C-alpha cells in the first residue's frame, strides 16, 4: 500500500502541472504516455528490435497526424492509415518465417495501434478544447472505478464473469451511480448550468458504462496473455494500460457525444 501511494503521488506531481498548463508541455506528456502504452502492447506482440522500431515510428506518425487542435472530426487520416496498414502487412511478409510474429499478432497490432491512436489523440484534442472537459472525462472514470471497488468490497456478492473475477454487479452499479452523480454535478457547476440535466445524466451514464467495459476489455487481454499487469512502470499500480484502460474507452465514446455537451 505504501508503494502504491508513493507511486500515485509522484505521478500526480509530474502530471498535474503539465495538464493544467496545457499546450506544448501537456502535448509532450501525452505523447510520452501514449508511447509507453504502445510499448506495453509491443512487449506482448513484437520482439525483434527493428520490427519494434518500425512500429514505433508508424504509431507516432499516425498519432501525430491525427491530432486536430480543436476538432474531433476526422481524427484518423485514411491516407496515413493506409500507409500504416501497408507497413504492417509488409512486416508480416518479411517475418513469414518468424513464428513469433504471425497473422494473428499482426492484426492484433493493427487493431491496438488504431485503438490507442484514436484514444490518445482524442484526449489531447479534448484538453486543447477545454481543461474542464478533460477533468470531466477523467472524473467519470476515477469516481466510477473508486466507488465500484469500494462498494464491491463492502457489498459485492454477484460476480460479473471470469474475465475479472473480483468485479461484481453491485460494485459496477454503485460505481456507475456515484460516477454519474459526482461527474454530472461537476459539469453543472463548472462547465454548463444550462444543459438539459436528463441529457447530461444519460451521456455521463453511457460514458461510465464504457469506462467499465474498457476495464474488462484490457483485463481480457491480460488473461489472454496470462499476465497480471501490462508493466511495472508504476509500482503498486502496474502499467500505463492498467491505469488508462477505462479512459481509453471513454475517449472513444466521447467522440459521438461531445456535440451534445
pLDDT in tens, 197-230: 999 999 999 999 999 999 999 999 999 998 988 9
- Alpha-helical (H) ranges within 100-130 are 103-129
At 1, the pLDDT band (50, 70, 90 cuts) reads low
Provide the mean pLDDT of the chain.
91
Task: Please write the tens of the pLDDT for every residue from 153-162.
Answer: 888 788 887 7
Residue with cell 471497488: 149
At 2, the pLDDT band (50, 70, 90 cuts) reads low
What per-residue confidence (pLDDT) applies to 121?
95
- Following DSSP, what letter does each residue of 59-80 receive, concatenated? HHHHHHHH--TT--TT-S-HHH
C-alpha distance from residue 83 to each of 79, 139, 144 (Å): 7, 36, 38
Domain residues of the chain, as ranges?
A: 1-129, 131-261
Task: Please write the tens of the pLDDT for every residue from 240-259.
Answer: 999 999 999 999 999 999 88
Side-chain-side CA neighbours of 79 within 13 Å: the count stands at 1
Which residues, other chains included, contact 46 with Cβ-Cβ below 8 Å and sequence gap of 6+? 52, 55, 101, 105, 109
C-alpha distance from residue 166 to each of 71, 118, 159 (Å): 38, 29, 7
Give the separation between CA 210 and CA 79, rounded to whole angstroms.
29
At 237, the pLDDT band (50, 70, 90 cuts) reads confident
Say which residue, 167 or 123, is predicted with more confidence: 123
User: By CB neighbour count within 10 A (0-12 exposed, 13-18 middle, 19+ buried), where does 230 fall?
Assistant: buried
Task: Please write the tens of the pLDDT for every residue from 3-62.
Answer: 677 777 888 888 999 999 998 999 999 999 999 999 999 999 998 999 999 999 999 999
Amino acid at each position: 500500500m505504501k508503494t502504491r501511494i508513493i507511486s500515485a503521488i509522484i505521478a500526480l506531481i509530474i502530471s498535474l502541472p503539465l495538464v493544467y498548463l496545457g499546450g506544448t508541455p501537456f502535448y509532450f506528456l501525452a505523447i510520452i504516455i501514449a508511447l509507453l502504452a504502445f510499448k506495453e502492447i509491443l512487449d506482448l506482440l513484437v520482439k525483434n528490435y527493428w520490427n519494434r522500431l518500425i512500429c514505433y515510428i508508424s504509431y507516432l506518425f499516425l498519432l501525430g497526424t491525427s491530432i486536430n487542435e480543436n476538432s474531433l472530426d476526422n481524427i484518423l487520416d485514411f491516407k496515413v492509415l493506409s500507409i500504416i496498414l501497408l507497413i504492417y502487412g509488409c512486416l508480416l511478409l518479411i517475418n513469414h518465417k518468424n513464428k513469433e510474429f504471425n497473422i494473428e499478432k499482426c492484426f492484433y497490432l493493427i487493431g491496438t495501434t488504431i485503438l490507442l491512436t484514436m484514444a490518445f489523440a482524442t484526449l489531447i484534442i479534448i484538453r486543447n478544447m477545454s481543461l474542464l472537459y478533460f477533468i470531466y472525462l477523467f472524473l467519470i472514470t476515477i469516481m466510477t472505478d473508486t466507488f465500484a471497488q469500494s462498494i464491491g468490497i463492502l457489498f459485492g456478492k454477484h460476480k460479473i464473469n471470469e474475465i475479472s473475477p473480483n468485479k461484481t454487479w453491485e460494485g459496477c452499479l454503485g460505481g456507475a451511480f456515484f460516477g454519474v452523480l459526482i461527474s454530472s454535478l461537476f459539469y453543472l457547476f463548472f462547465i454548463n448550468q444550462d444543459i438539459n440535466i436528463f441529457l447530461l445524466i444519460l451521456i455521463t451514464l453511457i460514458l461510465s458504462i464504457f469506462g467499465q467495459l474498457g476495464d474488462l476489455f484490457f483485463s481480457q487481454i491480460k488473461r489472454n496473455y496470462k499476465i497480471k499487469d501490462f508493466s511495472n512502470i508504476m509500482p503498486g499500480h502496474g502499467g500505463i494500460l492498467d491505469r488508462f484502460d477505462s479512459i481509453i474507452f471513454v475517449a472513444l465514446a466521447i467522440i459521438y457525444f461531445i456535440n451534445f455537451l
